[in-house]
Structure 1
């Protein structure tokens, strides 16, 4: 069963509130999920799994399909870092260099896909 799509108005408002700071947990969760949704829409595919625990994960980027077990290309980060990356407040290179973004696999990169416009 597919997840319900977060409407742009609701998602955009959640992102703005979460970026302003001190947003309730459910608002931050909506913001993270909305930005993951945008990423999956803009880079459809199943080659890379982007994880932002505890709020969500998506598969994206065209290329070889992965169907079972741990995907060979995984990106994982925390909600605050994901919001900063997606909004353009943190560059991909800086996120990886600082250790805030964990990327494993040859294709595990979001360079050129971020920031997301919302």
Structure 2
């Protein structure tokens, strides 16, 4: 079982990899300029994304990332959508979490991947 992450803007249409397995968009907001057909999603699980308040506070500022991580992990601990995503991960050999942020290292998908992996091991 593997959990990968990909930026949805870099991975649409024909460039979506068949090895992605089950594809889940983990943003609360739909990514601008991406059609639902081109996204090739299996699920948009917007409830798993950080709250609007937390996302707005973070503002994708790398200097706030560690605090963002701590706050987002707290949100995940009380989020019922986590159970649904864990079930998806158990049911599929490969799951790809898709996100829209420009920064590949400082975004919620990185945190979510590690969070899920720790609970599945």
TM-score bucket (shorter structure): 0.3 to 0.5
- Tell me which protein shows more helix as a share of its residues: 2
| Larger relative contact order (CA 8 Å, sep ≥ 6) | 2
TM-score normalised by structure 1 residue count: 0.32
TM-score normalised by structure 2 residue count: 0.32
